[in-house]
Amino acid sequence: MKKILLILAIIIIILVTYQTVGQKFHLQINDFLKKNTVTEKQVILDEESVVTKVVEEVLPSVVTVGISKTTTTPDTYQFDPFNPFNPLEQIPGSKKKIEQNIGSGFIISKDGLIITNKHVVSDTSAVYQVLTNDNKKFDVQKIYRDPLNDLAILKINGNNLRPLKMGDSSKIKLGQTAIAIGTPLGEFKNTVTKGIISGLGRGITAGSPFEGYVEKLDNVIQTDAPISAGNSGGPLLNSKGEVVGINTAIAQDGESIGFAIPVNVIKDLIKTFEKNGSSFERPYIGVRYKMISKQTAILNDVIEGAYVTEVIAGSPAEKAGIEDEDIIIEFDGVKVKGDDDQGLAKMILEKKVGATITIKIWRDKQTLTKKLTLEAYK
């Protein structure tokens, strides 16, 4: 009888212990699941908090660029109805002042340097202003237009401004978050849109509907973050609030297809500007070109170098006798390598305005030597 009671007691103890441990384990499992199960609502809230945090941090550094220009309507004439070639009266044209927000930009230094697109400020006869996030208006004192890319640096008399943090566009990955900020249509200041990085290494033609200006660009970033005319010059940001590109263009024939110049191109421009000081002078030769690699040259029975697609009228290249379809193979004694997209550009930037250099070109299967004097890009 004692054995039976002992066995029953042991069974009861085991059952009670199992139940207690089981309940505790069940509670631990539930607690673990609650802490580690990510709901759709949580994902949305986390994503929203990332975007709102970025916007709060960077908005004080994003600006709107405006233009001020006086235009004159053409003169008109009243003619003799019996002799249409005999003007009776000349009516002088009228002058009209235009003030309009046309683009965006962002602050890159505390003392008033701002980056934007060159096509936003392409009219050299106009006056430009910058409107900051706190509605302060500054006149643009100087403009430094990059002759190689659709970029420009503006100088305003500001201080204690908040420059944006620069990222690294070489580390961009397809599918990562992209946040665009700017003034679309020149009207809706501080507009924020969000999307992803949709493509890399695209080739596009950028321009401005306000200026009628276009420029061919290679190796740009594609995004589906909605941007419009007027967004040009505004920052494209990652989820850390770092600039990864500058919004530049949209596809005319498609929806949700925007393009941005990679931030590393901007950083190279800033380095050049700091090196040259505030002179805003940068040497140029005045050609558009595409690089021909050694492999491409062999396949097409040509020579490695920079294939000239266009010579700009009045440029040093035109004055030196360089023509479309020439291939630049040597610049001031240094071979132009076809597998280095920025090679020729770097060679030019290392020279000073006014320097006379020797260029060797390949034309009709012959090597020709040209003398060229570098000029400042205006």
343 or 30, which is more confident: 343
Q: Considering Cα of 177, then 178, then 181, then 185, what sign does the dihedral take?
A: negative
Residue pair 259/204 in contact (Cβ under 8 Å)? The answer is yes
**Can you give the pLDDT at residue 208?**
47
Selection from 112, 126, 121 nearest residue 146 by Cα: 121
373 or 78, which is more confident: 373
| 281-376 has CATH 2.30.42.10 classification | yes
Mean pLDDT, residues 54-71: 86
Mean pLDDT, residues 119-133: 88
Distance of alpha carbon 14 from alpha carbon 206, whole angstroms: 78
Identify the three-state secondary structure at position 256.
coil
Selection from 258, 194, 227 nearest residue 50 by Cα: 194
Tell me whether domains 169-263 and 281-376 share a fold.
no
Digit-coded pLDDT (tens) for 237-270:
898 888 999 988 776 665 667 888 899 888 888 8
**Can you give the pLDDT at residue 175?**
83
Distance of alpha carbon 114 from alpha carbon 65, whole angstroms: 10
Name the band, by pLDDT with cuts 50, 70 and 90, for residue 91: low
Quickly count: other Cβ atoms within 10 Å of residue 264's Cβ.
Answer: 18
Selection from 282, 241, 237 nearest residue 263 by Cα: 237
Distance of alpha carbon 320 from alpha carbon 286, whole angstroms: 11
Strands (E), 48-156: 62-72, 76-80, 83-91, 95-107, 113-116, 127-131, 137-139, 142-145, 152-155
Identify the three-state secondary structure at position 78.
strand
- Identify residue 150 by its one-letter amino acid code: D
Digit-coded pLDDT (tens) for 322-331:
999 999 999 9
Residue-level length of the chain: 378
Residue pair 293/331 in contact (Cβ under 8 Å)? The answer is no
What amino acid positions are annotated as catalytic residues? 119, 150, 232
Residues in Cβ contact with 104 at an 8 Å cutoff, skipping those fewer than 6 apart:
62, 63, 64, 65, 116, 120, 181, 182, 183, 230, 231, 232, 233, 234, 247
Domain ranges of the chain: 169-263, 281-376
CATH architecture assignment, domain 169-263: Beta Barrel (2.40)
Quickly count: other Cβ atoms within 10 Å of residue 330's Cβ.
Answer: 17
Question: Does residue 212 carry a pLDDT above 60?
Answer: no
**Among the ranges given (11-15, 202-206, 290-294, 310-314), the one the predictor scored with the smallest mean pLDDT:** 11-15
Question: Does residue 315 carry a pLDDT above 60?
Answer: yes
Digit-coded pLDDT (tens) for 287-304:
888 888 888 888 888 888
Q: What percent of the chain has pLDDT over 70?
A: 72
**Among the ranges given (134-143, 192-201, 232-241), the one the predictor scored with the smallest mean pLDDT:** 192-201
**Alpha-carbon separation of residue 318 from 256, 314, 374 (angstroms):** 40, 6, 12
**Alpha-carbon separation of residue 83 from 75, 80, 88, 90 (angstroms):** 20, 5, 10, 15
Distance of alpha carbon 178 from alpha carbon 238, whole angstroms: 5
Strands (E), 166-242: 177-182, 191-208, 213-223, 235-237
Question: Does residue 94 carry a pLDDT above 70?
Answer: no
| Residue 107 exposed, middle or buried by CB count within 10 Å (0-12, 13-18, 19+) | buried
Residue pair 198/174 in contact (Cβ under 8 Å)? The answer is yes
